[in-house]
Amino acid sequence: MVQFPGLEGVVAAETAISLVDGQQGMLIYRGHWAKDLAVYNSFEEVAYLLWYGKFPSANEYEAFITKFKKYRVLGVEEKKVLESLPLQLDVMSALRTVISSMSHTFTAWPPTVDDAIRITAMAPTIIANLNRRNEGVEFVEPHPDLNHVANYLYMLKGEIPQKAHVAAMNAYAILTMEHGMNASTFSSRVVVSTQSDIVSAICAAIGAMKGPLHGGAPSEVMTMLNGIGSKENAEQWMREHLEKGNRLMGFGHRIYKTRDPRAEALKTVTGRLASEDPWLDLAVYVEELAIKILEEYKPGRRLYTNVEFFAAAVLRSVEMPSTLFTPTFTSSRLVGWTAHILEQSQNNRIYRPQSEYVGEMPI
C-alpha cells in the first residue's frame, strides 16, 4: 500500500461547497468568490448560500432570519448546563459540553438544515454567556433587532456595537465560514458518515479546532501590532525585528502560495473602515510597509499577507478577549461544518482508510 502521511494529497470526497486553490489564490463558495461575498453580503446570506446552494428570495430570507433569531435564544435547560460548568473550564471545552448536552433535541439521522441553523444561531449566545460568566457579570439576552454578527458583539458587551466594527466582523465571519477539507471539517464528515447525529459530528469538529495546530488564534500578530504601537514606530520596529532573525507574523501561508484571498477581502473592508478606527488604520499601514520591507530583506520569497494578519486587526478593533479568538472562529466555521455534514449525509459512505502495521510479528 502507498502511504500518505496525514492523508495529504488524498481526495476523500467530492464537494460542491467550496474550492480552495492555494496555487492560484482562489477561495470559492458555491460558485461565488468568497472575497466578494465578504465585502457585499451579510453573514446570514452567505450561510443560506452554503446550506441551500443558492441565495434566498425575499420571502425565503425573511423566514430564514426569523428562524435564526428564534434559535439563538437559549432555553432554561441549556442555561442550567452552562451555569453548572467549572469556571476554570476553557471556553471551547465548555461550548462543546453545552452543545453535547442538547443532542437529544436534534434529529438523529439524517441531519437537516434546520439542525444546522439552530446550532449556528445558538453558538454565539453560548460563547458570549460563557465569557460574561467568567467575567462575573450578568448574561445578556439576544437583541431581537440585530443581525447575527451585531448581536454577538452586543451580547459580549451589553451595548450596541459600532457600524464599522459590525462590518469588519461580518467580513471576518464570512471568510472563516468554510475552507475545504481541513482537519475539523474532515472530523465532522467522518463522524456523520457512521450515521451518527449532527451534534456528535460538531463536537468532534470542535475537538479538532481546539488543537493549536488548527484553530490557533492570531495572537502572535496581535503581539506584533501591539509592539509596533504607532505608524511612526512601524519601520524601525520591523527592521530591528528582522535583523534579529525574527519573523514578521501574519505573512506567508502553508496553503496559499500567492495572495491569500481572505486577507485581500479583509484588507478591502478594513481599508474602507480605517478612518473610523485607529487600530484598523494602523494595520493597513503596517501591512503595506511590511510587504516592501520583506521584499528588501527576503527578495523573491513572495511573503504575502495571510488572513491572520487582518483577523488580528479586526478582533483587536472590537476588543475581543484573546480567550474568545478560537471560539469566535468556531462560531462562524459552524456554517461550513454543517454544510459538509449535510452533503456527506446525502451521498454517504463510511470512511474506512487503511493503516500499515509496523509492529513486531509473533514468533
Query: Is 18 strand, coil or helix?
Result: strand
Q: Are 82 and 98 in contact (CB under 8 A)?
A: yes
Q: Which one is catalytic: 165, 308, 340, 343?
A: 308
Q: Is the peptide bond before 110 cis (omega within 30 degrees of 0)?
A: yes
CA atoms of 40 and 49, how far apart (whole Å): 14
User: DSSP letters along 185-242, please?
Assistant: HHHHHHHHTTT--HHHHHHHHHHHHTSTTTS--THHHHHHHHHH-SHHHHHHHHHHHH
- Short-list 42, 40, 15, CA closest to 29: 15
Q: Alpha helices of 229-321 — where are they, by DSSP H?
A: 231-243, 261-273, 278-297, 307-317
**If you ran DSSP here, which 8-state letter would residue 248 be given?**
P
Respond yes or no: is residue 308 known to be catalytic.
yes
Q: Which one is catalytic: 148, 179, 253, 340?
A: 253
**If you ran DSSP here, which 8-state letter would residue 165 be given?**
H
Respond yes or no: is residue 340 known to be catalytic.
no
CA atoms of 274 and 282, how far apart (whole Å): 8
* Distant-in-sequence contacts of 280-285, Cβ < 8 A, 24+ apart: 280/164, 280/168, 280/313, 280/314, 280/317, 282/225, 282/228, 282/230, 282/231, 282/234, 282/313, 283/225, 283/309, 283/310, 283/312, 283/313, 284/313, 285/231, 285/234
**Within 13 A of 283's CA, how many CA atoms are on the CB side?**
36
b/e per residue 42-78 (b: at least 16 CB within 10 A): bbbbbbbbbbeeeebeeeeeeebbeebbebbebeeeb
Catalytic residues: 253, 308
